[in-house]
Amino acid sequence: MWRSPGCSHWCRRRQVYGQAMPFVANYHTHTFRCEHATGDCLDYARVAAAAGLAILGFSDHTPLPDGRWDDMRMSLAQFDEYEAAFAAAQRAFPQMRMLLGLECEFAPEYAGWYRDEILGRRGFDYLIAGCHYTPHDGRWIQSFGRLNTPTYLKAYARYTIQVMETGLFAFITHPDIIGCSYADWNDDLTACAEDICAASAALKVPLEINSYGFRKPWVPSAGGERPAYPWEPFWAIAARHRVQVVLSSDAHQPEDVVAGYDDVAAIRDRFGLVEADLSHLGSTSGVRGPGSGVA
Ligand SMILES: [Zn+2]
Ligand SMILES: [Zn+2]
């Protein structure tokens, strides 16, 4: 189903990024600690500063207290070091507004950890939620490519809404990763998108248009090859619900901090979507707690 990363489409897209208009703010970047990214906070900050980014948010994959899914996230032992690396980048580029965050998986047993330890004691500026796994019938289903039945789509929508209802997360990352599981749009996808977008609008939790999908292998479909996400039919439904959006690069390497702005901005504009105001992030978080690794 996937194109090889060496395909001509993929390479052509990548060449565009060097000329693309940059993001003004990007709240979705990673570091080497998650085990599938490269570079540290300072490397990302250098690229952001050179591109004239005003706001840079770090949102590496959160450590979890029980070590679940430990092959795609930092360990608890790296937590203080992540905060220290953020503080060093902040010191190096004092003119840039930098925010310290995490990209999280939600399960009810983690609610206290996110609220009391990370946002509370450690004083992180924000959390974002990426529903990379979907709970169903007592197990977790990979959301990237395994949501291939109506039942699983319903479970994904139900879970994403539950995550929004917690009020813990500034926005939902790539809600349209359902595009990894299907070649073409269908009525079950419409129902899934309708439910997620209605909840987003009602709960006022923005949804992210994520440019990483443009840099991943594209998916063959009846209308030609397309990125697995962003998937335009989803955003047409989002527009009808007047969902607010966040544009992000989801950078997993420093050179991608401002990658793909033109692509995600084009989707925003094609459907008349409005960007969420996230200027409140960081303004309510206090001094980071003792032992947090940040002075
Ligand atoms: Zn990642
Ligand atoms: Zn991410």
Can you tell me the mean pLDDT for 34-43? 97
Please tell me the predicted confidence (pLDDT) of residue 67: 87
204/206 Cα distance (integer angstroms): 6
Distance 112 CA to ligand 1 centre (A): 23
Coil, helix or strand for 33? helix
Ligand nearest to the CA of 103: 2
Window from 6-15, 125-134, 192-201, 273-282 with minimum mean pLDDT: 6-15
Cβ(237)–Cβ(196) below 8 Å: no
Distance 57 CA to ligand 2 centre (A): 11
Distance 114 CA to ligand 2 centre (A): 17
Please tell me the predicted confidence (pLDDT) of residue 196: 98
Distance 251 CA to ligand 1 centre (A): 8
Name the average pLDDT for the chain.
90
Can you tell me the mean pLDDT for 12-31? 68
Distance 288 CA to ligand 1 centre (A): 25
Ligand nearest to the CA of 38: 1
Ligand nearest to the CA of 208: 2
Query: What's the longest Cα–Cα distance across the chain?
Result: 56
Distance 177 CA to ligand 2 centre (A): 12
Cα angle 87, 130, 74; round to 5: 45
| Chain centre distance of CA 72 | 14
Coil, helix or strand for 87? helix
Distance 190 CA to ligand 1 centre (A): 26
Can you tell me the mean pLDDT for 54-65? 96
pLDDT band, very low/low/confident/very high, at 286 (cuts 50, 70, 90): very low
77/41 Cα distance (integer angstroms): 17
Residue 25's DSSP bridge partners are 55
Cβ(287)–Cβ(78) below 8 Å: no
230-285 confidence digits (pLDDT tens):
999 999 999 999 999 999 999 999 999 999 999 999 999 999 999 999 999 988 65
Ligand nearest to the CA of 36: 1
Give yes or no for residue 137 having a pLDDT over 80.
yes
260/284 Cα distance (integer angstroms): 30
Contacts of residues 6-13 at CB distance under 8 Å and 24 or more positions apart, as own/partner, are 7/217, 7/218, 9/218, 9/225, 10/215, 10/217, 10/218, 13/214, 13/215, 13/263
Provide the residue ranges of all domains of the chain, joining segments of one domain with +: 8-275
Ligand nearest to the CA of 34: 1
Ligand nearest to the CA of 210: 2
178-196 confidence digits (pLDDT tens):
999 999 999 999 999 999 9
The CATH code for residues 8-275 is: 3.20.20.140
Distance 35 CA to ligand 1 centre (A): 9
Distance 129 CA to ligand 1 centre (A): 12
Tokens matching residue 32: 């080497």
Please tell me the predicted confidence (pLDDT) of residue 143: 96
76-120 confidence digits (pLDDT tens):
999 999 999 999 999 999 999 999 999 999 999 999 999 999 999
pLDDT band, very low/low/confident/very high, at 289 (cuts 50, 70, 90): very low
DSSP string, 44-80: HHHHHHHTT-SEEEEEEEPP-TT-TTGGGS--GGGHH
Sequence-ordered alpha helix ranges (H) in the chain: 8-17, 41-50, 79-92, 111-112, 150-165, 187-203, 212-215, 232-240, 261-270
Distance 124 CA to ligand 1 centre (A): 19
pLDDT band, very low/low/confident/very high, at 23 (cuts 50, 70, 90): confident
Distance 210 CA to ligand 2 centre (A): 9
Distance 69 CA to ligand 2 centre (A): 15
Coil, helix or strand for 141? strand
Ligand nearest to the CA of 73: 1
More confident residue, 129 or 10: 129
Give yes or no for residue 52 having a pLDDT over 80.
yes
146/274 Cα distance (integer angstroms): 30
Please tell me the predicted confidence (pLDDT) of residue 3: 35
Distance 213 CA to ligand 2 centre (A): 11
Distance 171 CA to ligand 2 centre (A): 12
Please tell me the predicted confidence (pLDDT) of residue 102: 98
Please tell me the predicted confidence (pLDDT) of residue 20: 52
Neighbouring C-beta atoms of residue 116, cutoff 10 Å: 11
Can you tell me the mean pLDDT for 209-221? 97
Please tell me the predicted confidence (pLDDT) of residue 270: 98
Query: What's the pTM value of the predicted model, to 2 decimals?
Result: 0.90
Tokens matching residue 179: 């595009």
